[in-house]
Structure 1
Amino acid sequence: MGGVCCKEEEIDFDGEVDLNHFELLRSVGKGAFGKVRVVQHKKDQKIYALKYINKEKCIKMRAVENIIQERRLLEEIDFPLVCNLRFAFQDDENMFMIIDLMLGGDLRFHLDRQGCLKEDMVQFYVAEVALGLHYLHSRKIVHRDLKPDNVLLCEKGHAHLTDFNIAVHYNDKKPLTAVAGSMAYMAPEVLSKKGYFESVDWWSLGVMAFELLFGKRPYRGKTNEALTQAILYDDLVFPENASSHVSKACIECLRGFLTRDVTKRLGCGPTGLQDLKDHAWLKHLDWDHMETKEAIAPFIPDSKRPNFDATHELEELLLEENPLKHKKRATPKPARRRNQRRSA
């Protein structure tokens, strides 16, 4: 008499989406609230990024509101140059968000690997990120955490905004006042606590572009206080070899982004995007084809090796105490009926 085979659990693809709908592949990242893995949908075989957040840790870090806000924002947006949300669900331990996968790595990874990036590469990334920011601002959303780590390349080299953990809606009549973001990329109006709008994203884009080109940020300090003072008051100084490394138009563009007066800052105001398109450094770019990702990127990531820190995968294999796996949600117990009060 033959042995009885274990029958694989049948998957209901027409029911609610859960983790069992996806094959779990390699780990590619880790953030303050959770981790990121590559997953493949078992029905259509499409590849995505899975961001998962441990509920207990989220509560301990008082980050529940941020996570809920991020999910709600992602449910509102859909743009070619943004890492868009495709599915969202949860189990008893974790919250899950299935997002567009970008296999080309983030700009921090490429900056660390290559050193200073070529001018034409940075031009291209500035333009594509600007299109993504313009889309967000048109929906009254400010990102607030733009930096090389939060710009991901797809396999064809196009730049996509990601990580909306501290992104928020804004109202033109009521400025935001919270000090939020990564300090080195914060605009002066954030640190001065006088209120701000979407202008802060254009400053951050300038800081990021400067760093990608020269390998260091324009304002630095050994302490948070020193860094704050530098951002608020120091002159913008370029490296000594800047004029031999980049064009004059590039330097003028960076000056435009890193202007403390928001009424004069490049990218700001109702004509901000058009001002960028008309700028001497960027006007030759094919903006229409960039928005649809039909433009050819100046750099194509190497698909033969991982474009992320491989230690994430090693940590998942060796150090994870509670490895991720599909778990059915517990069925809530029916509420007990209270004893009816007897009449006297």
Structure 2
Amino acid sequence: MGAVCCRPTPIDFDGDVNLFHFVLLRCVGKGAFGKVRVVQHKQTRELYALKYINKAKCVKMKAVANVIQERRLLEEVDHAYIVNLRYAFQDDENCFFVIDLMLGGDLRFHLERLGALPEDAVRFYVAQISSALDYLHNMSIMHRDIKPDNILLDDKGNAHLTDFNIAVHYGERKLTGVAGSMAYMAPEILVKRGYSYQIDWWSLGVCAYELLFGRRPFRGRTNIDLTHSITKDSLKWPEDAEKKCSRPGLQVVKGLLDRDITRRLGVKPSKDDDRDGMAELRRHAWFRGTVDWDTLESKETPSPFVPDAKKANFDASHELEELLLEDNPLKAKQRKAAFQENLSAELRQMEDQFTSYDFKRMHRRSYYPNNTQLISQATAATSSSGTCCSST
């Protein structure tokens, strides 16, 4: 008697997007309760990054609101220098974000490998991330966690802002919750008197300083020491600062790290102020003759630094962990009807609010202001390197 041939189930590409639509390739990243891997769409053959978040871990860490909020914010945004959402869906175990693939690695990886980056590369990245910030702030969104780890390079060396897990919409009312990675927090967050989008420009200044000199401008052995340094210490330059960066470059970094938010570079202080912060930044001598702001978003300007395509621009241990240590490796699974019957309140919230998205079929939309109840309620330990967030 002949063997029975097990034919694969046909994939319905006309139906809602799901994991069966993708070929799972290498693992390239790892987060608190999820991983990132390269995937290929089986019909279009296009490559993407798949960020997947384990629902049970998400509930345990009280991060359900953050995940839903990130999902909704990402549907709203689409910009040349943001890692944009392309698909979103879920199965019984995970929530999935299919996003733009960045094969060049994050700036933290390159910073640790090189020690510091050349001035022309840092200027290029500051210009690109400034464009992304201006776009977000015009949509009343603040990122709140800008750091080298959250700036990814594509294969041509262009910088893109990622990780909107604690990003929020903002309005006239200032926020007071401590959120972000402490070493990159603006002083107005730490003094707890209220803050708004101006914090993103400060964080960009910390990134620029660190990329140029291989160290952060404000440091401390403890959180108390770090808080004092960020809020009180004067900005100091390394002895070889002028060898590594021109005077206009130092002026830009100093302008971004101004504790007075009405003077901080990139900021438009109020509706009644005639000064345009982004226009002021664009006119600065550091960018004059080197950055064509009118064509910036077309990505036609060659990057001063192009990652080596022959090397893995990420920690290769993620792939080994997936192969050797993962007791429940990711694979496409059909949803079970019984899963829906006795869900906890948190899992029901994820089921109902982490809705499916397909960028080729759906128009981007904003859930704001109806999503204010989803603003982060997660709390994590504060450290000089990790991300922390408390209620806003």
Is the TM-score greater than 0.5?
yes
Aligned in 2, Cα 1:45/1:333: closer, same or farther, shift over 3 Å? closer
In structure 2, what is the equivalent of residue 331 of structure 1? Answer: 337
Alignment correspondent of 1:214 = 213
Structure 1 Cα separation of the partners of residues 40 and 339 of structure 2: 33
Identity fraction in percent: 62
Q: Write the mapping of 1:116-131 to structure 2, written as runs, cut at 5 A.
A: 116-131=116-131
Q: Give the alignment of 1:223-242 within 5 angstroms.
A: 223-242=222-241
Query: 1:281 aligned to 2:281?
Result: no
1:304 aligns with 2:310: yes
Q: Secondary structure at the match of 1:253?
A: helix
Of structures 1 and 2, the larger Rg is shown by: 1
Asked if the contact 1:146/1:201 (under 8 Å) is kept, the reply is yes
SS of 2:179's equivalent?
coil
Determine helix, strand or coil for the equivalent of 2:51: strand
Q: Is the 8 A contact 2:92 2:339 kept in 1?
A: no
Whether 2:227 is the aligned partner of 1:254: answer: no
- Counterparts of 1:314 and 1:50 in 2: how far apart (Å)? 17
3-state SS of 1:181 partner: strand
Counterparts in 2 of 1:1-344, with a 5 A limit?
Answer: 2-171=2-171, 173-269=172-268, 271-284=276-289, 285-332=291-338
Q: Rate the CA distance shift 1:125–1:334 in 2: closer, same or farther, 3 A.
A: closer
Displaced runs of 4+ in structure 1, greater than 6 A? none
- Residue type at the aligned position of 2:62: R
Say whether the 8 Å CA contact 1:276–1:283 is kept in structure 2: no
How many residue pairs get aligned? The number is 334
Note the residue ranges of structure 1 that are not aligned, 5 or more in a row. Answer: 336-344
1:292 to partner: Cα distance: 1.7
Q: Normalised by the size of structure 2, how large is the TM-score?
A: 0.84
Structure-2 separation of matches of 1:182 and 1:33? 18
Of the two structures, which has the highest relative contact order with CA contacts closer than 8 Å and spacing of 6 or more?
2
Q: CA deviation at 1:95?
A: 0.4
Tell me the C-alpha RMSD between the 2 structures.
1.2
Question: Equivalents in 1 of 2:286, 2:181: separation in Å?
Answer: 27
User: What runs of 5+ residues in structure 2 fail to find an aligned partner?
Assistant: 269-274, 342-392
SS in structure 1 of the partner of residue 253 of structure 2 = helix
Q: Could you report, residue by residue, the CA deviation over 1:49-100 in whole angstroms, capped at 9, with x for unpaired residues?
A: 0000000000000000000000000010111110000110101110001000
Confirm or deny: 8 A CA contact 2:28 2:37 kept in the other structure: yes
Moved more, 306-315 or 287-296: 287-296
Q: Tell me what 2:373 maps to.
A: none
Deviation at 1:33, TM superposition (A): 2.6
- Counterpart secondary structure, 1:88: strand
